[in-house]
Amino acid sequence: MIRIRGAEVYDPARGLDGQMRDVWVDGGRIAPAPEHPQEHQVIDAAGLVLAPAGVELHSHVAGYALNAARRFLASDPEALDQLAPPADVAAGRYLAMGYTTVFDAASSPLYARLTHADLQAMSGVDRGSYTLMGDHRLLLRALKSRDPAELRDTLAWLLRVSGGYAVKLVNPGGGVAWKADRPAPGLDEPIGGLDLTQRGIIQQVVRLVNDLGLPHAVHLHAGRLGQPGNWQPFCETVRALEGQRAHLCHIQFYAYADDGTGGFASAAGQVAACLAPFEQVTCDIGQVLFGPALAVTADTSTLDGLRRRTRRPWISRQVEGEGGANVLPLDYLGRDPASAVQWAAGLELMLCFPDPLRMFLTTDHPNGGPFSAYPQVIEWLMSRAARAEVLERIHPAGRDKSGLAGLEREYSLGEVFAMTSTGPARALGLTDRGHLGVGALADMRCYRPQADIQAMFAQPAWVMRRGRIVCRDGQVLDRPAPGLDRPGGGGGFGPRVGHGAPTARIHRALSEVVTVRPEEYALGAGGERPDYREVPCASAAS
**CA atoms of 281 and 271, how far apart (whole Å):** 13
Distances (CA, A) of 449 to 47, 50, 72, 459: 8, 10, 39, 11
- Does residue 105 belong to the site contacting Zn ion (CB under 5 A)? yes
Q: How far is the CB of 250 from Zn ion (least distance, A)?
A: 6
CA–CA separation, 104 vs 367, rounded Å? Answer: 13
Q: Which is nearer to Zn ion, 269 or 286 (CB)?
A: 286
The 10 Å Cβ neighbour count of residue 408 is 6
Q: β-strands 196-197, 359-360: how paired?
A: unpaired
Listed in sequence order, the residues at least 6 apart from 292 whose beta carbon sits closer than 8 Å to its beta carbon are 76, 79, 82, 83, 329, 330, 331
User: What sign does the CA torsion over 245, 250, 252, 257 have?
Assistant: negative
Min CB(451)–Zn ion separation in Å:
33
Q: Among 102-110, 113-121, 157-165, 441-449, which window interacts with Zn ion (CB under 5 A)?
A: 102-110
- Is residue 23 within 8 Å of residue 63, measured between CB atoms? no
Question: What residues numbered 18-57 form the site for Zn ion, per CB under 5 A?
Answer: none
Identity of the residue, 259 or 364, whose beta carbon is nearer to Zn ion in the bound complex: 364
Site string for Zn ion, 478-517 (x = CB under 5 A): ----------------------------------------
Q: How far is the CB of 132 from Zn ion (least distance, A)?
A: 11
Dist. CA 191–CA 184, nearest whole Å: 8
Q: Three-state SS across 44-86?
A: ECCCCEEEECEEEEEECCCCHHHHHHHHHCCCCHHHHHHHCCC
Q: Which stretch binds Zn ion (CB under 5 A): 101-109, 307-315, 339-347, 459-467?
A: 101-109
- For Zn ion, which is the closer residue by CB, 115 or 459? 115
> How many angstroms separate the CA atoms of 400 and 48, rounded?
40
Residue closer to Zn ion, measured from CB, 45 or 57: 57
Looking at beta carbons only, is 371 or 521 nearer to Zn ion?
A: 371
Sequence-ordered alpha helix ranges (H) in 213-336? 231-240, 268-275, 300-310
Nearer to Zn ion among residue 105 and residue 274 (C-beta): 105
* DSSP run (H or E) holding 9: strand 2-11
d(CA 453, CA 378): 8
Looking at 99-107, 134-142, 376-384, 421-429, which segment touches Zn ion (CB under 5 A)? 99-107
Nearest to 154 by CA among 167, 172, 165, 173: 167
Stretch that binds Zn ion, among 89-97, 105-113, 191-199, 320-328 (CB under 5 A): 105-113
- What whole-number distance in Å separates Cα of residue 19 and Cα of residue 454? 23
Closer residue to Zn ion in complex, CB, 105/418 = 105
Q: Which is nearer to Zn ion, 29 or 250 (CB)?
A: 250
**Minimum separation from the CB atom of position 362 to Zn ion (A):** 8
- Is residue 30 within 8 A of residue 71, CB to CB? The reply is no
Strand 190-191 versus strand 196-197 pairing type:
antiparallel
Q: How far is the CB of 168 from Zn ion (least distance, A)?
A: 9
CB of 249 to Zn ion, least distance (A): 6
- Between residue 356 and residue 395, which ones bind Zn ion under the rule CB under 5 A? 364
Sign of the alpha-carbon torsion through 377, 4, 124, 80: positive
Site string for Zn ion, 170-209 (x = CB under 5 A): ----------------------------------------
Q: How far is the CB of 193 from Zn ion (least distance, A)?
A: 28
Q: Give the nearer residue to Zn ion in terms of CB position, either 266 or 363.
A: 363
Of 359 and 463, which has the nearer Cβ to Zn ion? 359
Q: Which is nearer to Zn ion, 364 or 443 (CB)?
A: 364
Read off the amino acid at residue 230.
N
> Which 306-365 residues touch Zn ion, going by CB under 5 A?
364
Nearer to Zn ion, 6 or 368 (CB): 368
CB of 130 to Zn ion, least distance (A): 10
- Smallest distance from Zn ion to CB 279, Å: 24
**Site size for Zn ion, by CB under 5 A?**
2
CA 431 to chain centre: 17
CB of 59 to Zn ion, least distance (A): 8
Stretch that binds Zn ion, among 98-106, 132-140, 205-213, 456-464 (CB under 5 A): 98-106
Shortest CB 4 distance to Zn ion, Å: 35
- Distance in Å, CB of 225 to Zn ion, minimum: 10
x/- letters, 62..91, toward Zn ion (CB under 5 A): ------------------------------
State how far the Cα of 489 lies from the Cα of 492, in Å rounded to an integer: 9
Binding site for Zn ion (CB under 5 A): 105, 364
